[in-house]
Amino acid sequence: MPQIDFRALFETLPSPHMVLDRDLRFVEANQAYQRVTERTRDELVGQNIFDLFPNPGDGGRQLRESFQRVLDTGQPDTLALIPYAIPLPLSLGGGFEMRFWSAVHTPLFDSAGNTAYVLQNTVDVTEIERLKDIAYGPSGAAPETPIESATQLYQRAQELQQTNLILVEETNQIRNLFMQAPGFMAVLIGPDFVFRLVNNAYQSLIGRRAVIGRPLLEALPELEGQVFQDILSEVMRTGQPYVGQADSVLLQRQADGPPEERFLDFIYQPILDGRGVPWGVFIEGSDVTARVRAERQQKLLLDELNHRVKNTLATVQAIAAQTLRTTASPADFREAFEARLLALSATHDLLTQSVWRGAPLDEVILMELRPHGAERYKLEGPAVALSAAETLTLGLVFHELVTNAAKYGALSTSEGCVQVEWTVREEAGRSRLDLVWREQGGPPVSPPLRQGFGSRLIERSLQGDIDGEARLEFAESGLLCHLRLTLAVEATGAEVAA
């Protein structure tokens, strides 16, 4: 004879069944029970039934007393009719609905014959109870006038059913509007702010956590220590609404992720009873994080633009003044001044490509050397990412070095070349760049009789604009320039050779 799989049978029973231990903690629950309560088995097992489904009213009292009778006597106990609210599906907006149940509680014994568990089987008799109310009134007592005939009762039931269908359809439409509203909405009730309703936008905001029927800080524990429960308490105490604009809140939107900062426009509107006393709070608002971040980014860009315009004008002013001092004629001034402005413009173009985050060191050097031909230079060193300030400063420095080499140094002859080598090392927790510009094959070099603008720019700009220093050596074999600076961005480690 085949063996019956009692676990599979328990799981597939059409009516809700569950098992509690002596502490009224869930031990097991079948699929029907999980559907009715909208709780998974993992959410139920190990939890006390009255912690998960609190009911301080008469229904909760009857249920607790029935469990205790079974545990004390070891005899089954039946509750013919017990009112008990259940959570509504999230697809209908959540919240709770009062329903009526018939429950049978059966003892399960351990090997010693003691009552170890209670098996509950419940049947939803709400519709039967409603029909009884139609026939006899809500009290269940016989009416003072003769009861209508069965035909009349049936007709009244049909009329009521049709009315109920219309009301249900209207209710569903309202729920759908609530659920699909673009702004987030929620209803909190009681002093612990228990979630009764939440719409889809609110679910999206909180990472689609199951919050219906749970107090605020239990459902969203990351709000502990933030101001929102205090604001809710004040709304409940005073009956006055609260409006928040771009308020910052930390929400855990991923199950295993850290809290994420969001910015919300919202209103806490008190829900008043007939006496004008608050019994809940309606929450409505919108997530304006993208707007706030865009406004902050815009302000940052405007501040940065203002700073850069001032710096650029100061640089142009200095270039003009120094070029004027070191040129003999207006034509020479125009040629040198325009060349330096073009170098500054080229550096700006390079920075624009990276949205002013910076540029690679080798690109800054090649920007000046490429026009002289690939055979006229050699670059060697690791890939280095320069900040925007470093890019602007070094762009001008290399322009002066290349201009000097083309006029008087290695690039002024057909045999000359420029070799640029650099290394990066860690020093006191910072990355230090050491760069050597070496000219070879050009005419003999001797120290200048007076220091020109180019030399001053090379030596002073590194000291003033970025954390660095420059040293020029006028060796007979060719100019040597040593640059050292502390990098704002770490080197990548990849080698550059050109």
Output the pLDDT for position 315: 55
Give per-10-residue mean pLDDT for the chain (498 aa).
70 86 92 84 90 78 90 88 66 60 84 87 72 52 48 57 62 73 92 91 92 92 94 95 95 88 95 87 94 85 62 61 72 78 68 70 86 84 89 83 84 89 89 94 81 67 74 89 84 54
Q: Please say whether the beta carbons of 39 and 30 come within 8 A.
A: no
Give the whole-angstrom CA distance, residue 55 versus residue 64: 10
d(CA 265, CA 263): 7
Give residue 342's pLDDT.
73
- Provide CB contacts within 8 A for 31, sequence distance 6+: 11, 12
3-state secondary structure of 117: strand
In Å, what is the CA distance from 98 to each residue of 59, 124, 135, 215, 449? 11, 11, 20, 19, 100
Write down the pLDDT at residue 165: 61
Q: Which residue has the tokens 């001008």?
A: 396
Neighbours of 400 (CB within 10 A): 22
In the chain, the amino acid numbered 146 is P
* Cα–Cα distance, 187 to 259 (Å, whole number): 23
* Cα 176–chain centre separation: 27
Closest CA to 22 of 108, 123, 101: 108
For residues 411 and 442, is the Cβ–Cβ distance under 8 A?
A: yes
